[in-house]
Amino acid sequence: MKKIKLSLFICFLLGIMSPVVLAQKYSFGEYTGVNFSNLHGNLLTNKWMPKVGPNAGLFLEYSLNKSFSLQTEVAYVTHYYEMKSYYNQSTDPIYYDDYSSSSIYYNYYSHKYDFSFLRFPLFIKYKTPTRLQLGLGGGMFYSVLLNDDVTKTERDAAKKENRKIYPPKYDWGYIFSADLSYPITKDIRFFVTGRITSGQKVFIESVKGENGSSELGFGLKYTPNSRKENINDYMKPSDSDSSITRCYIRPVAGLLVGWNSSTKKAGNYSAKIGSSIGAAFEYRLGKTVSLQSGILFERKGYALSDSSLYYHRIATDDKYPENKVDSKVELDYVTIPLNLKFSIGNPVSFYFDLGLYSGFKVNALCHGTAIEKSSGSYGYTLQKININDAVEGYYHAVDFGYQTGLGFEFPFRKNLKFDIGITYSESFSPIINKTNENSVGYSNDDVSIKNGSVVLQFGLQIPISR
């Protein structure tokens, strides 16, 4: 059945790419790039390296109208992972009776997982009617594993025994893209694209690991028989009359300060620097009120400097010796906000916004140092742990919260606006996943951690429709 679906899909691609149907509405091209793998799952410790791998593909785009299009492609993509663990000999200090056998050594345990896929995505894209065109898209993909080491016999046996076998033969998931393109000839645009993918099937059983990636690529898009583009096709100075423009897109970037905003926090948490980058969309409801959403990649988190049994949060128990921890937790989210924005003033305006957000966890990393001391009647060991753990198994997949902000907008090149503002956000509820199998059951365990952040944000408001 899956094979039939795959064949139909390929036929569809070939069909729509035939010269007969080639027209101004169709564009096609190629892209190449690199892929930074990003495993998702019940990761609690050890470093999962975001290894670089190649990807390349051929795509076909069908313009639904001036702003929206459908895109599909055939792409070769890779997901290369490498896990490096601590060989933690210090858990039970080893003492020797004489110097002759006193050598202490560590071995890394390293394991590599390399997957290559043929990927077939289908997503809808929005593109700005500008010469330097911003495109944003989202959709789903289906991919087939190319380097399948599991034999057919093994898969048949597993199927007969109703047992899962890893890795599976195919994957599916979600794909989001953002690209910038620029016309270099009448028919050809050069573009740079960034993509985030999230697979939904478990490929690494031990950590319930699902594929994920961040991709960066560049390529060429060819639109046959396209009209010669000139600056008049895009925003004209007259378009800048903001009184009649209803939709705006706003690429934003900012510096984020994140912290644990829980009022119950049990230990010495502090703030850390992060970042926020993405695009906001604004729809003007009235002269002063607008609805605002978007998609942002945010690195939140907090810092911890205290004695604890965990490296990423405070936990104590009389039964266990604590470690002196100095760590930072990086929590990466794809955030989708929904705000009401109020603006006053012209041409320089002041704005205030208020709303909600959903943050979809992408990564959770803990790094820093811990000093572990093991002592007893028969010896003493002091060791420094250089922490680099993937810890996303400890955190909820989604963070809901509220946000509010204020700032100023300044006219820029007449039809654009540059803005600077600050945004404060806070989780509604704790982000620690306390009810899973990862809970050790320490007597004092701080599961109250919430995300808090302030972003100093810069943006450029571009009108996109009337």
* Chain residues that interact with another protein, rule: CB under 8 A: 33-34, 36, 46-47, 49-52, 84-90, 93, 95-99, 102, 104, 106, 108, 184-185, 187-188, 190, 192, 216, 218, 220, 367, 371, 375-389
Please state the closest distance from residue 95 (CB atom) to another protein, in A. Answer: 4
Q: Which helix (H) or strand (E) holds 156?
A: helix 152-160
Please state the closest distance from residue 39 (CB atom) to another protein, in A. Answer: 14
435 Cβ contact list (under 8 Å, min separation 6): none
Query: Closer to another protein at the Cβ: 364 or 387?
Result: 387
Q: Per-residue b/e over 405-443, b at no fewer than 16 CB within 10 Å? A: bebebebeeebbbebebebebbbeebbbbeeeeeeeebe
Please state the closest distance from residue 365 (CB atom) to another protein, in A. Answer: 9
- Residue 135 to residue 281: CA distance in whole angstroms: 12
Please state the closest distance from residue 241 (CB atom) to another protein, in A. Answer: 32
- Residue 99 to residue 149: CA distance in whole angstroms: 47
β-bridge mates for residue 360, sequence order: 334, 398
Radius of gyration of the chain (CA): 26
Query: Closer to another protein at the Cβ: 89 or 404?
Result: 89
- Residue 362 to residue 39: CA distance in whole angstroms: 9
Query: Closer to another protein at the Cβ: 365 or 464?
Result: 365
Query: Closer to another protein at the Cβ: 349 or 388?
Result: 388
Query: Closer to another protein at the Cβ: 266 or 364?
Result: 364
- Residue 42 to residue 302: CA distance in whole angstroms: 20
Please state the closest distance from residue 391 (CB atom) to another protein, in A. Answer: 12
Please state the closest distance from residue 363 (CB atom) to another protein, in A. Answer: 12
Please state the closest distance from residue 72 (CB atom) to another protein, in A. Answer: 23
Query: Closer to another protein at the Cβ: 89 or 293?
Result: 89
Query: Closer to another protein at the Cβ: 301 or 337?
Result: 301
Long-range CB contacts for residues 317-320, cutoff 8 Å, separation at least 24: 317/442, 317/443, 317/444, 318/443, 319/443, 320/442
DSSP 180-228: EEEESSSSEEEEEEEEEEEEEEEEEGGGTEEEEEEEEEEEEEE-TTPPP
Amino acid at 40: H
